[in-house]
Amino acid sequence: MREHLRHYIGGQWVESRGGTRHEVINPATEEPCTAITLGTPADVDAAAAAARAAFPAFSRTSVAERLALLDRIAEAYQARMEDVAAAISEEMGAPISFARGVQAPTGLGHFKGAARALKSFAWEEEVRGARVVHEAIGVVGMITPWNWPINQIAAKVAPCIAAGNTMVLKPSEECPTNAVILAEILEEAGVPAGVFNLVQGDGPGVGAAIAAHPDIDMVSFTGSTRAGIAVAQAAAPTVKRVHQELGGKGPNLVLPGADIDAHLGAMLFGVLGNSGQTCIAPTRVIVQKDQKAEVEAFAARMFAATKVGDPTQDGGHIGPVVNKAQFDRIQGLIQSAIDEGATLLEGGPGMPDSVNRGYYVRPTVLGDVTPAMRIFREETFGPVATITPYDTLEEGIALANDTEYGLSAAVTGDPEIARGVVGQLRAGIVGVNSWGPAPDAPFGGYKRSGNGREAGVYGLRDFLEIKAIVGL
């Protein structure tokens, strides 16, 4: 079992100030695989002080210096890619092929994307006699999730370095090692002491302290809407900027006459990939009633053919969900749908027959799901698709928008018909015969899915202050 019992503060690996040992459970084996120390508010105090001390010098570095630093980080990251993949696979259950081919490369992508944004960013402009400039915001606190761990860490760290900010990071205690590896990468690349600080911990002990800390100027949070509300409430007394990417309940609106065989498979993969633990997964399939049977049969076949198995093995199978609490929640939502009248088309409650331990979920398809059901409303975060029929396209659009979330939406069908639909969908990301984000495009949501954007120039802009200079 690996141990990472110290925090990275002020360029040094230091003992916690009163923290407690925490063991991470491998979701495939239900056995401990990693130990960390859950930090304390005193650890956050030390990290914030180190970041505050480092800010004046780092914020004054030139664009050329920060570009060179981002290039060195990307080079060092490339050399540690396999280590990142192995840690993610063991701690959160992503199959090693998926961790190596998809999860780990996202971190590298954000550092390269931040460099592209930095090269093209307009730091100053003239506006009717005023000079408007962008400046580093200060110390940024970051709280990140376990489902796409290095992706969400790098989506915050990379633009902060590009902007000249300093940082205090709390990664998820469910998947902590990738953050340790990143700290080593940043140190090797020459990130100055105090610019990046890592405090392991949980939400109540460290996350809340980051959100409330008077020496932290901004908090960037990715996670559930429930936790995001708590972060915003904790941040309110210090009037810091709150940047959030929260929950999702993405619709996949299947247009009338859509070519199901050509396009639906790629969309349903968004529900299966990462064992369904993706905030932009298009889980709510909304289909015109004349194609309902065709979509149900296609989805049932695809999910029945999806293998579930050991994440240490190469292959196209899916792994377990992250922990027992998540497993139990998914089981409860599946059962609630059946109890409320949904038709079980594939999968269902319980573990797959191929495994006898671990938090594995049967790939599940539920038909005849209505807006009155819990599973239509609540984020499932598992390999579960629901199918809801509509009569008219207007009704289908209304069903797609019938959610408190607005992170993502997908449209399956003729792109020419989709042109008249995408503007009516209330979501920050809309894909046509596609469900994933695009490099350098803004990532973030409407409604209760958050209030900020990450990636590319849009992400860089969200980690900057704006100053108007008049009369100079």
- Token pair in block for residue 404: 């408190």
Q: Which of 91, 174, 245, 296 is catalytic?
A: 245
Spatial separation of the C-alpha atoms in residues 2 and 216, rounded to whole Å? 31
Sign of CA dihedral 429, 431, 436, 439: negative
- Quick one: which H or E segment has residue 464? strand 464-470
Backbone φ and ψ of 144, nearest 5°? -125, 155
Whether 160 is a known active-site residue: answer: no
Catalytic residue among 279, 296, 379, 454: 279
Cα–Cα distance list, 257 to 107, 165, 289, 389 (Å): 39, 50, 11, 14
- Is-catalytic flag, 454? no
Q: Where are the beta strands (DSSP E) in 128-279?
A: 130-136, 139-143, 166-170, 196-198, 218-222, 241-245, 251-254
Instruction: Give CB contacts under 8 A, 24+ apart, made by 388-395.
Output: 388/284, 388/285, 388/286, 388/287, 389/286, 389/287, 389/288, 389/289, 389/292, 390/286, 390/287, 390/288, 390/289, 391/288, 391/289, 393/255, 393/256, 393/288, 393/421
Residues acting as catalytic residues? 245, 279
